[in-house]
Amino acid sequence: MTNDQVAGASAPARMRTRRVMVGDVPVGGGAPVSVQSMCTTKTADAASTLAQISRLADAGCEIIRVAIPDAGSLDGFQEVCSKSPLPVIADIHFDYRLAIEAARRGASALRINPGNIGSWDRVDAVIDACGQAGIPIRIGVNAGSLDKKIAERQDLTLPEKLVASSVSFVEHFKELGFFDIVLSAKAHSVPTTLATYRALSQELPSVPLHVGVTEAGTLQQGTVKNAAGVGILLEQGIGDTMRLSLTADPVEEVNVAWELLSALGMRRRTPELVSCPTCGRCQVDMIPIAEEVSRRLASVKAPITVAVMGCVVNGPGEASDADIGVACGRDQAMLFANGKPIRKIPADRIVDELMSEIDRRFEAGGKD
Ligand code: SF4
């Protein structure tokens, strides 16, 4: 279960785009911003790919993309599509025949960059195949693979080139009567990402946007870049689905995406931990306590706010919005719920007592 609107939070107003269905997941048209990731396994190895999809689905991934680098991946792809709990997008570069075959073999959508498919005839053949299969296409424009004519223009900035490429592709698709489009135009630079997507939302207001900072780096840097780039866009109502690219286990992409949606007050799936940075008033070793609570909250599915505060002086007050929490003292801690004290607990039982209270109140019968 997810909360598509976090209680009490003021979520950003969303731009209204056309709704497209990726399998059973709506994208655009006011649907909740969906969370995507991409498998790192070889698609030809269907068993490994399905195992990774299962882990991603458990983490809250809603749409999965897999690479189809060659014809040898197609049998595995077909098996993945038939068994996956998530809609599967086929990611194709260069070879339009792979795209057509993926559409026939059960893809819920294709992701192509028309700029590297070759001639328009080939792009049009892919559009026809998707039309027949009744599936959408994500037009994925990348700063690193722009249409050559546009890439060579000296009079345009990089965001202007990305927007010009995107607009020309979308216009072509629409001229053929194909409207089930999702668009992305990604860069690894946050300022370029912001400028590009802001312009796209003005130039193509009805087209659902897939947002993300691409090639954002390893876990820490990539999280910060995506939080800045995607966070600002979402706050401005721009973006219908997202993939936060990280050089890490793809489950981390999903975890970070949900943290971002939760921080923006847009969607909540799991607990949010409020923990103080500690100061000279703190009388316990807070960091391991907060880390242990964070680790154990990973298995809690209730969208609650949990506070772990370093002192009984300011703790309950500072965490008054929390559903449940502890304010730690020298030998004992105060357990509180909804900002009010409930009972004292001994210092060596802080995490266990907090977690069992969470289990009793929120896991057994939902949020009380
Ligand atoms: Fe300091 Fe207490 Fe505030 Fe933590 S809750 S930062 S220990 S005053």
Q: How confident is the model at residue 149 (pLDDT cuts 50, 70, 90)?
A: confident
274 lines ligand 1 (CB under 6 A): no
List pLDDT tens digits, range 295-321.
999 889 899 999 999 988 877 777 777
Give the model confidence (pLDDT) of 94-146 as tens digits. Answer: 999 999 999 999 999 999 999 889 889 999 999 999 999 999 999 999 887 78
346 has which bridge partners? 332
Averaged over 17-31, what is the pLDDT?
97
234-272 pLDDT per residue, tens: 999 999 999 999 999 999 999 999 999 999 999 998 899
The pLDDT value given to residue 144: 77
Name the region of 193 (left: φ>0; alpha: ψ -120 to 50; beta: rest): alpha
pLDDT of residue 110: 98
Q: Give the residue, out of 275, 279, 321, with the most ligand 1 atoms within 8 A of its beta carbon, to mutate for a pocket test.
A: 279
The structure tokens listed for 45 are 């190895």
CB-neighbour burial class of residue 249 (10 A; exposed 0-12, middle 13-18, buried 19+) = middle
Look at residue 7 and tell me whether its pLDDT is greater than 50: no
pLDDT value for 4: 56
- Residue 367, pLDDT above cutoff 90: no
Average pLDDT on 191-210 reads 97
Q: Where are the domains of the chain?
A: 12-263, 272-363
For the CA of 280, the closest atom of ligand 1 is 1
Q: Please report the pLDDT score of residue 12 as a whole number.
A: 73
Q: Is the CB of 365 under 6 A from ligand 1?
A: no
Q: What is the pLDDT of residue 312?
A: 82
318 lines ligand 1 (CB under 6 A): yes
How does pLDDT run across 220-231, given as a tens digit for each residue?
999 999 999 999
DSSP code, position 93:
-
Classified by CATH at the fold level, domain 272-363 comes out as: Sulfite Reductase Hemoprotein; domain 1 (3.30.413)
Q: Ligand 1: distance of its center to the CA of 317 in Å?
A: 10
Give the atom of ligand 1 at the shortest distance from the alpha carbon of 309.
5
Q: 27 forms bridges with which residues in the sheet?
A: 20
Enter the pTM of the model: 0.91
Residues 6+ apart with CB under 8 A from 345: 326, 332, 333, 334, 335, 353, 354
Q: What percent of the chain clears pLDDT 90, i.e. is strictly above it? A: 80
Mean pLDDT of 54-68: 97
Residue 1 has pLDDT above 50, yes or no: no
Asked if residue 153 has pLDDT above 60, the reply is yes
> Above pLDDT 70, what percent of the chain?
96
Q: Average pLDDT, whole number, for the chain?
A: 92
Chain centroid, CA 334 distance in Å:
36
Within the chain, where are the H helices? 46-59, 74-83, 96-104, 120-133, 148-151, 158-175, 190-203, 219-235, 250-263, 286-297, 315-318, 350-358
Q: Which fold has domain 12-263?
A: TIM Barrel (3.20.20)
State the pLDDT at residue 10: 64
pLDDT of residue 6: 56
CB environment 183-217: b (16+ within 10 A), e (fewer) = bbbbbbbbebbbbbbbbbbeebeebbbbbbbbbbb
Q: In this structure, are residues 202 and 232 in contact, taking their beta carbons and an 8 Å threshold?
A: no
Q: How far is the CA of 300 from the centre of ligand 1 (A)?
A: 26
**Three-point CA angle 234, 130, 36, nearest 5°:** 30
pLDDT digits (tens, 9 = 90+) for 167-194: 999 999 999 999 999 999 999 999 999 9
CA dihedral 368, 265, 208, 30 (to 10 degrees): 50
Neighbours of 283 (CB within 10 A): 15
